[in-house]
Amino acid sequence: MKIKLALGAAVCASALSAGQAAAADWDAPQQPFKVHGNTYYVGPGGVSAVLVTSPAGHVLIDGGTGKSPQQIVPHIRQLGFKVGDIKYILISHAHFDHVGGIAELQKLSGATVVASTLAAPVLKTGKPTADDPQYANLVDMPFAPVGTLHTVKDGEVLSVGPLKLTAHYSPGHTPGGTSWTWQSSENGKALNMVYADSVTAYGDDSFRYGGDPRWPGAKAGLEHTLAMLAGLQCDILISAHPDASGLMERQAKGSFVDTNACRAYAAKGQERLAAQLAEEAQRPAKK
Ligand SMILES: [Zn+2]
């Protein structure tokens, strides 16, 4: 149990130290809340799930762990929405702490799951692909595979009635990660919303961001993602783990708006990448 918790914490995408990450409880109880306009936080305390609503149907981003639907489903109902009105379930990256609950949420809603081309095989099998930097830690921890899947290209716009969400491929934490942007309006004020994928450079004991045949493009991919995130129009950032961008702290302060949040999030990812590369340089070469 202790080992499993430690491995599970390793997947955690926030830029916390290992000790802090191990202490994080992904399924900690959490009240749902409005972020802005038609955007609501419906996840548990440690892994984000976001509902974007419209009269023509809703979009859910991420489904948390296998246990998270026990909170996500009642949260959606508590806010006055129907799970059956979810048309699409989008994902950030295919690790079990973000997609472990998706198979169940898909069964309950009948929604189509939407993912990048590289995340699709992971979702269909419930198992990581060999190019995942954390492959060795994840291979024995499968999640429930999802059913109907729709793949999107980088930059593709997904529409449900008036909702338009744009996919931004975000390789780095995994090869197939995706961030999502959309606009939400309240009192005539339209804000640029960003759901940012995890940007933590973290691998199993053998993976090297500095150059690895399993995924030679890891470092370049992550750097591209960090530059992309830093350049987004970003009024409200929600990260795949809420603590990675201080979401609950912003809630406590009474405003989610921070136009510097995406740049700060990218800078933190850059620092973590530098630390990872330094650690790899200390590691003995493979025999
Ligand atoms: Zn995570």
CA of 187 to the centre of ligand 1 (A): 34
> Which amino acid would we find at residue 110?
G
Strand order in the sheet with 39-41: 33-36, 39-41, 50-52, 58-61, 86-90, 112-116, 149-152
pLDDT at position 38 over 50: yes
CA of 47 to the centre of ligand 1 (A): 7
| 3-class DSSP assignment, residue 184 | strand
CA of 26 to the centre of ligand 1 (A): 9
| Global pTM value | 0.92
pLDDT at position 85 over 60: yes
pLDDT at position 275 over 80: yes
| 3-class DSSP assignment, residue 125 | helix
CA of 189 to the centre of ligand 1 (A): 31
Max Cα distance, the chain (Å): 62
Distances in Å between the alpha carbon of 123 and those of 112, 127, 143, 176?
12, 7, 9, 11
How far apart CA 115 and CA 151 sit, in angstroms, is 5
174: which 2 tokens? 């995994």
CA of 108 to the centre of ligand 1 (A): 23
pLDDT tens digit string along 195-223?
Answer: 999 999 999 999 999 999 999 999 999 99
How confident is residue 244, by pLDDT bands cut at 50, 70 and 90?
Answer: very high
CA of 223 to the centre of ligand 1 (A): 19
> Which amino acid would we find at residue 108?
L
CATH superfamily of 29-282: Ribonuclease Z/Hydroxyacylglutathione hydrolase-like (3.60.15.10)
